[in-house]
């Protein structure tokens, strides 16, 4: 007996924010939630025990990367990514389309799918909507995404419309393949559709309506973080779609964003987030340090002023290592390119992001979100 | 009131092996002991909590590296390496001479000391016996070593004799500086002399006698692992010196070695070991896996046969991560150059080495060493 996928437990009165429970095969996820990125089946530098201590509830895996390495034979023999990576909690996978588009020098989108050359060895590969679903079924993610046509930042209305329409046709093909494989493999995973539409509000709305008609389990809104557009544009693009999508289905926003973006997007009805920012910034020595009501300041550890700052990296961390090691020591590790640097900074930044989504949920649950969120977003 | 530095609690009947307690400012060390290498103030990829869980009792820091980075100003402001690195247990530092000799393209030994150019930025530096002691005093290591003249592997008797004689003169200068700084700083650390002598037994014996006359707290036997010489040569070089040195003083063997070397050297009266082998091999994907009575096999994780080996990395590890993650997963991390790979392999290899020296101590303590050690060394 399958439980309801998503249950809203509390709604904000003045915004579209909501606190919910997402019930997946590998456990419940309390939303809003941030999902750390485990590109190659590992959240860089961390163990599953670290992630459990961070209270990470769901992580993201990249279909493109996992397809190339370790490859489908290994993942299939392992019985899927959960077994392979020893991560027992839920996993969401993307479709692989974005990496096929962004990581490879040569990628060609046709009606059938996308042809590209592996960024690892130049080998020619072909990713179709059906292929993406079959890979994600082998990975065994709790939530799979449909393949969408990815676009560069600056495009004309005509190009955007054609891509949006193709994405809808691909969404239908993805769903057909998913249903077929579901019958064959008897799995209880979920497929999310991807509302697109680039920077055109009319297309955003039409894409949301058409995707909704296909009746997916939830949505991963795509293409809003192409870079360059003003924040407000991004916020209204999302709102124009969450206004259309069913309230009772979970909504994920692909690849966003800063702490402020997350709060803004929760107010516009988003439940799930993923972004490389906390983990990638960590590896470049840029740390989110929480202050007060989960506001934060950025600690750029490589700055000279940290060379003799012997105060703790983060005195409020739950990790004894971050409460004990000094900023001066962490700076030394970064300057010396020592492996430990990346782990410490990654723990710090994911702790901030996961604390933030937990705080947002608490604010919604205790009727404080409406009076809190704009103040949070004003600072910085 | 200073306690005795070293107390022998049990001796083997048929060999020179002994179990002891080394009482240092930052705690007791049970010998024989392996000391993980923390070159730049960090045992690569590990936290102090990892090292505590490994039951590492003492680690080694490299004076050359720490002098260049973070530098003496930072170490001095921090109040020494213990404070800087948050490692509360004992630290031994080398003199810096070996790195000045081996890491730099241009190094010139004169009677005054060694001139070299930093491998980081080419800056000219000068390391004298006095300078080395003053750096090590700032580092605040529990055990400091005298500067010795390092030599290439193949040298003539005349060159070796001159270097040995100079090393004795430098040892006297080191001791003078150490005593002077001890009075000024009121610290209770220890200085070890370095018996040398290259491959010439007559020089080894003479060096041991002359070093002994200088009355150091203990000894770090140097220059026996230059590479290329047969094992038996190395073993007899060491024995020719431990036969001369006072029994009641601790003996460290610099830079040795394989598990078999360690057992062989304990039988010849060595108490303390350091070597890059467990940590460096780890980072190259070569794992020591204990089997039976601390025998081991080598797991070369990158081998194709591990691609679908889903058995645990090390089912007998104390670390849940090593008991849970599979060989196939660790191989994938190495192939993908993921940061986590190095940490897992390092934990595994140091656990083996520290288990080994603990086992050796147990064997000595329970009168089983004499019947055990040769069998251990025969295999492989």
pLDDT of residue B106: 75
Residues of A in contact with B325 (CB under 8 A): 47, 86
The verdict on B329 touching A (C-beta cutoff 8 Å) is: yes
Chain B, 54 to 73: residues with Cβ < 8 Å from chain A are 69-70, 73
User: Exposed, middle or buried by CB within 10 Å (0-12, 13-18, 19+), for B317?
Assistant: buried
Task: Please check whether residue A89 lies inside any domain of the structure.
Answer: yes
Record: contact B338-A308, CB cut-off 8 A: no
pLDDT of residue B185: 83
Residues 6+ apart with CB under 8 A from B91: B26, B38, B58, B59, B60, B61, B81, B82, B139, B140, B141, B142, B143
Q: At residue B194, does pLDDT exceed 60?
A: yes
Helix (H) or strand (E) holding A281: helix A277-283
CB-CB neighbours of B73 under 10 Å: 11
Record: contact B332-A77, CB cut-off 8 A: no
The verdict on B333 touching A (C-beta cutoff 8 Å) is: yes
Residues of A in contact with B78 (CB under 8 A): 308, 310, 326, 328
In A112-219, where does DSSP find H-type helix?
Answer: 129-139, 157-185, 201-213
pLDDT of residue A1: 41
Mean pLDDT by groups of 10 residues along chain A of 380 residues: 83 98 97 98 98 98 97 98 98 94 82 93 95 97 95 89 96 97 86 95 97 98 79 92 98 95 97 98 97 86 98 97 98 98 98 97 98 87
Residues of A in contact with B77 (CB under 8 A): 308, 310
Distance, CA of A131 to CA of A318 (rounded, Å): 42
pLDDT band at B380 (very low <50, low <70, confident <90, very high): low
Task: Please check whether residue A309 lies inside any domain of the structure.
Answer: no
Cis amide prior to B257 (ω within 30 degrees): yes
Counting the structural domains of chain A, the total is 1
pTM over cut 0.90? yes
pLDDT band at B2 (very low <50, low <70, confident <90, very high): low
Candidate list A142, A148, A261, A274, residue with the active-site label: A274
Record: contact A42-B338, CB cut-off 8 A: yes
pLDDT of residue B3: 62
* Tokens, residue B292: 């039976």
Record: contact A86-B324, CB cut-off 8 A: yes
Residues of A in contact with B46 (CB under 8 A): 340
Q: Tokens 């190259």, residue? A: B284
- Closest Cα in chain A to B344: A47
pLDDT of residue B227: 65
DSSP 8-state code for residue A28: E
pLDDT band at B1 (very low <50, low <70, confident <90, very high): very low
Task: Please check whether residue A352 lies inside any domain of the structure.
Answer: no
Mean residue pLDDT of chain B comes to: 94
- Closest Cα in chain B to A68: B336
- Mean pLDDT for B129-143 is 97
Give pLDDT tens digits for A187-215. 779 999 999 999 899 999 999 999 999 99
> 3-state SS of B243-264?
CCCCCCCCEEECCECCHHHHHH
Candidate list B50, B261, B274, B309, residue with the active-site label: B274
Task: Please check whether residue B355 lies inside any domain of the structure.
Answer: no
pLDDT of residue B233: 87
* Tokens, residue B157: 């008797």
- Domain that residue B171 falls in: 6-276
Candidate list A50, A73, A94, A367, residue with the active-site label: A94
Handedness of CA B90, B95, B99, B102 (dihedral sign): negative
pLDDT of residue B231: 85
Task: Please check whether residue B292 lies inside any domain of the structure.
Answer: no
Give pLDDT tens digits for B241-266. 999 999 999 999 999 999 999 999 99
Cis amide prior to A20 (ω within 30 degrees): no
Task: Please check whether residue A58 lies inside any domain of the structure.
Answer: yes
Q: Half-sphere exposure of residue A128, counting CA atoms within 13 Å on the CB side?
A: 12
Residue B327 · residue B299 · CB < 8 Å: yes
Task: Please check whether residue B203 lies inside any domain of the structure.
Answer: yes
pLDDT of residue A378: 86
Distance, CA of A126 to CA of A107 (rounded, Å): 10
Record: contact B328-A70, CB cut-off 8 A: yes
ipTM rounded to 2 decimals: 0.97
Task: Please check whether residue A328 lies inside any domain of the structure.
Answer: no
Residue A73 annotated as catalytic: no
Residue B182 · residue B173 · CB < 8 Å: no
Among A74, A307, A321, select the one facing B328 at the smallest CB separation.
A74
CB-CB neighbours of A284 under 10 Å: 13
pLDDT of residue A227: 65
Residue B293 annotated as catalytic: no
CATH code for the domain in which residue A127 is found: 3.20.20.105
> 3-state SS of A175-202?
HHHHHHHHHHHCCCCEEEECCCCCCCHH
- Closest Cα in chain A to B39: A338
B22-26 — which CB contacts under 8 Å span 24+ positions? B22/B58, B22/B90, B22/B250, B22/B271, B22/B272, B24/B58, B24/B90, B24/B142, B24/B143, B24/B190, B25/B90, B25/B142, B25/B187, B25/B188, B25/B189, B26/B82, B26/B88, B26/B89, B26/B90, B26/B91, B26/B142
* Tokens, residue B267: 């039988």
pLDDT of residue B102: 85
Record: contact A329-B77, CB cut-off 8 A: no
The verdict on B44 touching A (C-beta cutoff 8 Å) is: yes
Among A46, A69, A343, select the one facing B336 at the smallest CB separation.
A69
């Amino acid at each position: 007996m399958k439980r309801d996928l998503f249950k809203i437990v509390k709604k904000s009165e003045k915004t579209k924010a909501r606190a919910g429970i997402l019930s997946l095969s590998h456990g419940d996820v309390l939303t809003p939630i941030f999902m750390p990125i485990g590109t190659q089946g590992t959240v860089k530098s961390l163990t599953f025990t670290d992630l459990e201590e961070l209270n990470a509830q769901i992580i993201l895996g990249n279909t493109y990367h996992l397809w190339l390495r370790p490859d489908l034979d290994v993942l299939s023999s392992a019985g899927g990514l959960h077994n392979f990576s020893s991560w027992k909690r839920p996993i969401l996978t993307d479709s692989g389309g974005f990496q096929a588009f962004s990581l490879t020098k040569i990628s060609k989108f046709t009606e059938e799918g996308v042809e590209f050359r592996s960024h690892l060895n130049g080998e020619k590969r072909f990713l179709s909507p059906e292929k993406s679903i079959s890979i994600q079924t082998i990975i065994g993610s709790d939530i799979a995404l449909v393949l969408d046509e990815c676009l560069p930042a600056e495009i004309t209305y005509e190009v955007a419309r054609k891509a949006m329409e193709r994405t809808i046709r691909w969404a239908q093909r993805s769903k057909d393949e998913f249903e077929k494989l579901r019958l064959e493999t008897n799995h209880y995973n979920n497929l999310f559709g991807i509302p697109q539409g680039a920077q055109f509000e009319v297309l955003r709305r039409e894409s949301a309506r058409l995707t909704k008609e296909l009746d997916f389990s939830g949505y991963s809104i795509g293409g809003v973080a192409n870079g360059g557009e003003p924040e407000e544009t991004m916020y209204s693009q999302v709102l124009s779609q969450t206004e259309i999508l069913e309230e009772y289905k979970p909504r994920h926003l692909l690849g966003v964003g800063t702490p402020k973006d997350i709060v803004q997007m929760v107010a516009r009805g988003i439940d799930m987030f993923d972004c490389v920012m906390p983990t990638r910034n960590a590896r470049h020595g840029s740390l989110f340090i929480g202050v007060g009501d989960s506001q934060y300041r950025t600690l750029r550890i490589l700055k000279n002023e940290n060379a003799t700052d012997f105060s703790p990296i983060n005195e409020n961390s739950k990790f004894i290592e971050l409460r004990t090691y000094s900023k001066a020591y962490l700076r030394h590790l970064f300057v010396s390119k020592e492996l430990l640097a990346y782990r410490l900074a990654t723990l710090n930044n994911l702790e901030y992001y996961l604390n933030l989504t937990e705080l947002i949920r608490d604010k919604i649950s205790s009727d404080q979100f409406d009076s809190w969120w704009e103040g949070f977003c004003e600072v910085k």
